Structure 1
Amino acid sequence: MCDHHHLRPQTSSHASGDVEHVNFLSEDIGALFLQDNYSDITLVVEEKKFPVHKVILAARSEYFRALLFGGLCESKPGVHEITLKDTAASSFQHLLKYIYTGRMLLTSLQEESLLDVLGLADRFGFVELKNSISQYLEAMLSIRNVCLIYDMASVYSLSSLLQTCFEFMDQNAMDTLQSDSFMTLSASSMRAVLSRDSFCAPEIEIFKAVRRWAEQNPEVELSSVMCSVRLPLMSLGELLNIVRESSLVSADLILDSINIKTTHRDTELSYRGSLVPEENIATLRHGAQVIRGEMKSALLDGDFNNYDLDRGFSRHPIDDNNPQQGIVVQLGSASIINTIRLLLWDKDMRSYSYHIEVSMDEKDWVRVIDHTRFQCRSWQYLRFPQRVVKFVKITGTHNSVNRVFHLVCFECMFSKKTVELEGGIIVPRENVATIRHSACVVEGVSRCRNALINGDIQNYDWDSGYTCHQLGSGAIVVQLAQPYVLSSMRLLLWDCDGRSYSYYVEVSTDQQHWTMIADFTKKPCRSWQVFTFPSCAMTFIKIVGTHNTANEVFHCVHFECPAESSALSEFESRRSSEDPSPPTLRLLPPAGSNMALQGLNQAADAEDGYGGMLQDGERSASPTLSS
C-alpha cells in the first residue's frame, strides 16, 4: 500500500483543542479494500478470491465476528481461506467495498444486483444498508418491478417497503394485474395482495389474472390463492359463463356465491374500494357530486367562509314522515373511508341533530353516525370503522330554530390517525372545549362571550378575563360542537384573593335532561380544579356556583375537557398518595394572578359593558356582578 499521507491538505489547528479527522480515518481504512497488505484471510466467492482483514470485518458485522472469532472451524488457526456459498461474487464485491468505506452508489447498480446486495445486507446483518436500499427501491417502483420488489421486501421483512408496494399496486391495480411481473408473485404474496380491500379492480379481471397465474404455476395448490377472489362480487353471467367454464372453481362454491349474492344485504358484501389516505375525496376533482338535496352546488365547492342566510349551503326540509329525505353525495368511485367532516350552518346559536348513512347501490343503507339524540353545531369531526362507500346520505332530524337542515360543507376521507370510539362517539385525548373545536359558551356573563374557553389563563383580574353568574340565579353553560365521551374536566376559579367557592357540575345531551357528575357544594374550593367521573357522552356542561366567601357571584376563568393530561396525572398521583377523594387539585396560581388586588375595591360593577351575551332571557334582573 503506497503512502498517500503527503497528498492530504494541511489542516489548521483549533483553539478549542478538539481534533476531528474522521475523513482521514475513512480514507485509510478504505485504502485497504482488496489489498493484500496486512490481509490475514481470503474469502472465496464463486471461485473469486477476496483478500480481507478479519478485524475490520468483525468490527463491522456480528455475522463475521462470529464466523472469524466465534470458535467455529473457520476461526481455528491455520485457516487461510473461507468459502461463502450461495453468494454472487459481483454483489459481494459491492458489499465488501461498503464494509471498508461505508459508501455505496446505488444508482450505479443494475436492478438485479441491487436486489442481490439487499439479500446480502440482510444475511450479514447490515441493517442501515438494508434500510437505505429499501428507501431507494421505494423511489424506483414501476409496474415492471413492483411485484418482484414486493416479494423481496416480504422475504426480508421490510415493512416500509412492503407498505409502499401495496400502495403502488392499489393505485395501479389494473396495470398490475396485466403485467408480466404479476405472474412471478409467490402464492403467499398473491394472497396478501388480493386480500386487500384497497386492491380495487373488477373482480372478474382479478379472476382472469389468477387464472393466467395458475397456468404458469401448475405446481401450486390453486385453492390457496383462489380463496382471495371475491366471487359474490361478480355478476351472474360472469359466474356462469367465465368462472364455471374455467373449471378452476367447484360448482358448489359457485352456487354458494350465488346464494350469498341473492340472499345477503348489499352492505354485507365484501366490496373493494380505492384508498386515498388523508385527502378529501368528496370534491369535484375526484368526481363527487350532490345528487339529492336543495341548492346542490354549494356543498362541495370547498368554500366554508362565504355563507349567510341566503347562500353558501345545501339543505333539505325536516319531515319525520318522509324516509327519503336527506342530502346525498355520490363519490366518484367506490372508496374506503372512515372519516367525515361537516359544517352545520352556524351564523347564530341554533343546534341540529342528524344521522349519516352510507351505501354502495343507493338502495341498501347502513347508518355509520347517529347524532339524533344530540344537539350539535358548527364543525363536526366524525369517525367510524372503515367501509367501502359509493353514496353518503346526511339526514337532519332537528333544528332548534326551524324545520330545515342546513349543511355548508361536506368532506370525507380515510385517515390513519388513531381515534378511540365508545358507542360510535369519539373519546378525545385533547381539550375539545375550545373555539378551535367550535365549542361556545351559551350561558354566563362575561365581557367576551368565549373568555371561558379561549385558552387564556394568564390575563385576568377583578374586572375581566372571567365568566360569572349570580348565585341562586342562572349558570355557566358550555356547548360542545358535537357529542364526546368524557371522564375528566379542569377549571380555574377566580383566585386573585383568598376567597373560596362551592359549586357543582351537570352534563346533558339536549339541554333538558341533566346528570350531575361533580358535587363540591360542601367543599371550599379555590383556584385550579381537576376532577374525574365515570365516562359518559355529553354536549352541554353546566357549572353552577353555590357559594362565594366574598360575595354573591360565582366566577370561572377557564374551563377544559378532558383535563390536560399533565394536570390529570398530577391529580391522580395526589389522590392516590394523599386523600382518597379530595375535591380539588391545588396548583400554583398562574402568572397574571395578582394577589395584590386583594386590597382593591371589589365592588366594581363587573357587568358594565358586557355586550348582552346571554340568550333566551337568561340574564337576571340587572344584578351587580362584582368580583
Structure 2
Amino acid sequence: MSSGSHQHLQNSNSKRSASRLGDIEHLSLFSEHLSALCLSPDYSDVVLIVEGERLSAHKVILAARSDYFRAMLYGGLKESSQAEITLPDAPLKAFKVLLKYIYTGHMFLSTLKEDVILDTLGLAHQYGFQDLETAISDILKQLLALRNICAVIDTARLYGLEKLVKFCHNFLDRHASKILTHETFLQLSQESLVELLQRDSFFAPEVEIFQGVCNWCKVNEDKDDLVMKCVRLPLMSVADLLSVVRPAGLVKPDTLLDAIAERTNVRLSSLPHRGQLIIDENVASPRFGSKVVSGELMEYLLDGDYHTYDMEKGYTRHGINGPGDQGIIVKLGTPTIINYIRMLLWDRDIRSYSYYIEISMEQKDWVRVIDYSTYSCRSWQYLYFESRVVQYIRIVGTHNTVNKVFHLVSFEAMYKMEIPNMVNDIICPNYNVATVDKSAVVIEGVSRARNALLNGDTRHYDWDSGYTCHQLGSGAILIQLGQPYIISSLRLLLWDCDERSYSYYIESSTNVWEWEMVVDNTRENCKSWQVIKFPPRPVVFIRIVGTHNTENEVFHCVHFECPSCEENNQDSTTNAQLNRKRDSSVLSDLRPVIQPPETATEAEEVPV
C-alpha cells in the first residue's frame, strides 16, 4: 500500500460541500429511530402515569435529557427502583408534547392550542429544559394578542420568566385602553393586575382604568383592596370622582374626599401621572404629534434637519429679555415619560449660551429639570434628568455671548434605558468629553488645525504639526467643553520628539471669569504624558498655561482629554510612545533638525 493511502481522505471540493469526503452523517436516520421509541413499549424500563394514562419510556433517555429525571431515576430516590411513576401535576397533552421533544429534539408549536403551549412552558420550567423554556418564550412574544396576553403574563410571572413578563408589560402599556375593556382582562390574577397598575407607563385615562377595575372586581376577589388602591384617583377630574367613582360604591367616602382634596390643593406636577413609554426613540417629532407652540420661526425646530442652518434660517429663537420670558415651548403629542433631551444650540461661530429647561403637564405648574443658567454651553447638549411624565417642555435662554437672542437648531426628547452617573444633575462621565463629537472646542491657542488638540491622534505629530501651542508669558491654551461636566481627572501629552521638558499650570472654570487651580507644575520638569487627578468639580473651561520650556519660548501640547482615559488607553499609549520614538529617530536621520517655532502667533489656526 502506498504511503498516500495512509493520509487523511480529503475532498477537493470541500468549499462546495457542507460535509467532507470521509465523513458520514445519518442524523436524520438516527433521529427517526430514536423517535420511534417515544411511547413505545420496546426496550421500555419505566412507565410514567399522567392523568391516569400509562406512557412507556426509557430511563436512560430521560436522564440524558433532563437533570430533573436524572435525579429522580438515578439519584437514589424511591422512584429509582419503581417500574411505574405517577406524575400528578403534569397535564397529559402538554406532557406528550414534551416527551416527543425529549426523544426527537423537535416541537411544532404551530399545531398546538395556546393553553397547551402554556402548559408545555410550565413543564419545561419544572423539568429544567432551559433552552426549550427560552425558545417557547420567544415564540410566545410573537404570538401575543389581546386574547392571550393575560394568560401569558400570569404564566410568565408564575415561573419567574422576567424577560417575558417585561415584554408582556410593554405590550399591555401599548394597548392599555383596549385591554381594560377586553373580556380576558377579567381573568388576570390579582398579583399581575396590581403589578400592571403600579406602572407609570400603563397609560390610559384614569377613569377608564377605574371602570376596568370595577368590572374585574365584579368577578374576582380584591383581597385587602390591593387592586383598587392602585387606581390613582387624584388624576381624575372632580366631576368624574363624583359621577363615576362615588356611585360605584367601591371607594370609601374618606378616600374619595382625600382624592378630591389632593386634586385641588396639591401641585399638579406632584401628582402620580401616567404617560406612554417609548424607549430610545425621539418623541419630540411630528410623527408622534409633537409641535412647537411658542417661539419664533417655529417650523424649523422639529424638522429633523440639523445640517442646513445659517444666520438667517434653520433655527427657532426667542428674545432674551430677562425674567418672564416664555422661551421656546414644545408640546408632545401625548403625555410621555422622558429622562433625556438632546438639542443643538446654534454653533456657526464660537458663541456660548446659558439656559434652563422646564416641564409641565398643563402649562400651569412648571418644574425645572435642567438649570444651566450660570454655565456657558455650546453646540450639542446631552441632558439627563429624573424620569418624568411630560407634555410640555419649555427651553428658556438666559444669555448669549454675542447678542440678546437664544437660537435653537434641533430638539429631541426621549427615554433612555442607560443613564450616566450624575452628580447634582450634572453628568459625571467615565469617557472623554473633550472631543469635537461632544461639542468641545479649542478657543485659544495656535495650531495648524483648530482642534488638533482634541482629535484623539497621539501618534501623528512632528516638528511642524500635530500640536497646539502658545507663547510663554503671553496667552494660554483654552478649551471649552460643550456643557458642564463633573470632572476629577485629565490627561495631556506634551510634545516629546526630543528630550525637552516643560513647566505649566492648569485652571478650570464654569464661566470663563472665575478660575480654580487644578494643578501647579510651574516648579516641575514635565515630559510627555501627564495625568492629573483632583477633587471632582463642575468644569466647562480648562486653561493650560505653559511657564517654561527648556528649549525655547513656546509651550507645545499634542493631546488633551478629560476625564483621563489612561486605563482604557494604556496599551495604545505605550505603543504610541514606542512609535513616536521610532518615528522621531527616523526623522532625525533623514533631515536636519527643525525646532518647533520659538514664537507663537496670535492666530487661532495656522494655515498649512
Q: TM-score under structure 1 normalisation?
A: 0.89
Please name the residue that 1:240 is paired with: 242
Q: Is the 8 A contact 2:554 2:598 kept in 1?
A: no
**Counterpart of 1:55 in structure 2: which amino acid?**
V
Please name the residue that 2:292 is paired with: 290
Please name the residue that 2:531 is paired with: 530
Q: Is the 8 A contact 1:318 1:325 kept in 2?
A: no
1:311-330 pair list within 5 angstroms: 311-320=313-322, 322-330=323-331
1:591-610 pair list within 5 angstroms: 591-593=579-581, 594-596=583-585, 597=587, 600-603=592-595, 605=597
Return the offset for 1:425: 0.5
Distance in 1 between residues matched to 2:379 and 2:338, nearest whole Å: 22
Please name the residue that 1:491 is paired with: 492
1:408-447 pair list within 5 angstroms: 408-447=409-448
Distance in 2 between residues matched to 1:494 and 1:22, nearest whole Å: 66
Distance in 2 between residues matched to 1:535 and 1:569, nearest whole Å: 23
Q: 1:18 to 1:344 in 2, by over 3 A?
A: same
Please name the residue that 2:190 is paired with: 187
Q: Is the 8 A contact 2:489 2:532 kept in 1?
A: yes
**Counterpart of 1:46 in structure 2: which amino acid?**
E
Return the offset for 1:605: 4.2
Please name the residue that 2:3 is paired with: none
- Equivalent of 2:97, from 94, 97, 103? 94
Please name the residue that 2:261 is paired with: 259
Task: Specify the SS of the correspondent of 1:391.
Answer: strand
Please name the residue that 1:140 is paired with: 143
Return the offset for 1:490: 1.4
- Equivalent of 2:60, from 52, 55, 58? 55
* Aligned sequence identity (%): 51
**Counterpart of 1:538 in structure 2: which amino acid?**
V
Distance in 1 between residues matched to 2:175 and 2:469, nearest whole Å: 60
Task: Specify the SS of the correspondent of 1:342.
Answer: strand
Task: Specify the SS of the correspondent of 1:361.
Answer: coil
Question: In the alignment, does 2:155 pair up with 1:152?
Answer: yes
Task: Specify the SS of the correspondent of 2:227.
Answer: helix
Task: Specify the SS of the correspondent of 1:383.
Answer: strand
1:25-73: CA deviation from partner (whole Å, max 9, x where unpaired): 5455334222222221111112222211111111211211121122222
Q: Is the 8 A contact 2:62 2:70 kept in 1?
A: yes
Distance in 2 between residues matched to 1:33 and 1:490, nearest whole Å: 68
Q: Is the 8 A contact 1:530 1:567 kept in 2?
A: no
Please name the residue that 2:178 is paired with: 175
Q: 1:208 to 1:14 in 2, by over 3 A?
A: closer
Return the offset for 1:602: 3.1
Distance in 2 between residues matched to 1:15 and 1:299, nearest whole Å: 62
Task: Specify the SS of the correspondent of 1:521.
Answer: strand
Distance in 2 between residues matched to 1:117 and 1:325, nearest whole Å: 60
Question: In the alignment, does 2:76 pair up with 1:71?
Answer: yes
1:502-517 pair list within 5 angstroms: 502-517=503-518
Task: Specify the SS of the correspondent of 1:334.
Answer: strand
Distance in 1 between residues matched to 2:598 and 2:348, nearest whole Å: 28
Task: Specify the SS of the correspondent of 1:213.
Answer: helix
Structure 2 unaligned segments of length 5 or more: list them.
Answer: 1-13
Q: Is the 8 A contact 1:501 1:548 kept in 2?
A: yes
Return the offset for 1:526: 1.4
Task: Specify the SS of the correspondent of 2:287.
Answer: coil
**Counterpart of 1:602 in structure 2: which amino acid?**
I
1:8-407 pair list within 5 angstroms: 26-76=31-81, 79-217=82-220, 219-221=221-223, 223-320=225-322, 322-407=323-408
1:322-365: CA deviation from partner (whole Å, max 9, x where unpaired): 41431111111111000101100001110000000000010100
Distance in 2 between residues matched to 1:310 and 1:534, nearest whole Å: 44
Please name the residue that 1:589 is paired with: 577
Return the offset for 1:456: 1.4
1:214-256: CA deviation from partner (whole Å, max 9, x where unpaired): 0011x33261111110000111111112111111000000111
Return the offset for 1:603: 3.8
Distance in 1 between residues matched to 2:570 and 2:447, nearest whole Å: 31
**Counterpart of 1:436 in structure 2: which amino acid?**
D
Q: 1:310 to 1:341 in 2, by over 3 A?
A: same
Q: Is the 8 A contact 1:529 1:586 kept in 2?
A: no
Return the offset for 1:19: 7.2
Distance in 2 between residues matched to 1:16 and 1:542, nearest whole Å: 70
Instruction: Out of 182-191 and 522-531, give the one that drifted further.
Output: 522-531
Task: Specify the SS of the correspondent of 2:223.
Answer: coil
- Equivalent of 1:612, from 594, 603, 606? 603
1:238-291: CA deviation from partner (whole Å, max 9, x where unpaired): 111211111100000011111111111110001001111111111111111111
Instruction: Out of 461-470 and 79-88, give the one that drifted further.
Output: 79-88
Return the offset for 1:508: 0.6
Distance in 2 between residues matched to 1:472 and 1:479, nearest whole Å: 21
Return the offset for 1:612: 3.0
Q: 1:23 to 1:537 in 2, by over 3 A?
A: farther
Distance in 2 between residues matched to 1:491 and 1:344, nearest whole Å: 28
**Counterpart of 2:584 in structure 1: which amino acid?**
M
Q: 1:266 to 1:54 in 2, by over 3 A?
A: same
Distance in 1 between residues matched to 2:407 and 2:20, nearest whole Å: 72
Distance in 2 between residues matched to 1:22 and 1:549, nearest whole Å: 77
**Counterpart of 1:310 in structure 2: which amino acid?**
E
Task: Specify the SS of the correspondent of 2:517.
Answer: strand
Please name the residue that 2:9 is paired with: none
Return the offset for 1:23: 5.7
Return the offset for 1:418: 2.7
Distance in 2 between residues matched to 1:86 and 1:203, nearest whole Å: 40
Q: 1:69 to 1:461 in 2, by over 3 A?
A: same
Q: 1:283 to 1:455 in 2, by over 3 A?
A: same
Task: Specify the SS of the correspondent of 2:505.
Answer: strand
Return the offset for 1:553: 1.1
Q: Is the 8 A contact 1:453 1:558 kept in 2?
A: yes
Q: Is the 8 A contact 2:554 2:597 kept in 1?
A: no
Distance in 2 between residues matched to 1:32 and 1:222, nearest whole Å: 53
**Counterpart of 1:94 in structure 2: which amino acid?**
V
Q: Is the 8 A contact 1:328 1:393 kept in 2?
A: yes
Return the offset for 1:17: 8.2
Q: TM-score under structure 2 normalisation?
A: 0.92
Task: Specify the SS of the correspondent of 2:436.
Answer: coil
Distance in 2 between residues matched to 1:492 and 1:109, nearest whole Å: 66
**Counterpart of 1:50 in structure 2: which amino acid?**
L
Q: 1:27 to 1:490 in 2, by over 3 A?
A: farther
Task: Specify the SS of the correspondent of 1:498.
Answer: coil
1:396-430: CA deviation from partner (whole Å, max 9, x where unpaired): 00000011111111110111123211100111121
Distance in 2 between residues matched to 1:417 and 1:488, nearest whole Å: 23
**Counterpart of 1:81 in structure 2: which amino acid?**
E
Please name the residue that 1:5 is paired with: none
**Counterpart of 1:589 in structure 2: which amino acid?**
Q
Q: Give the aligned length.
A: 587
**Counterpart of 2:171 in structure 1: which amino acid?**
F
Q: Is the 8 A contact 1:528 1:586 kept in 2?
A: no
Q: Is the 8 A contact 2:553 2:599 kept in 1?
A: no
Distance in 2 between residues matched to 1:604 and 1:369, nearest whole Å: 45
Distance in 1 between residues matched to 2:546 and 2:575, nearest whole Å: 20
Distance in 1 between residues matched to 2:549 and 2:284, nearest whole Å: 52
Q: Kindly report structure 1 stretches of 4+ aligned residues shifted beyond 6 Å.
A: 11-21, 585-588
1:498-554: CA deviation from partner (whole Å, max 9, x where unpaired): 112222211110111111112222222211222221111111111111222221111
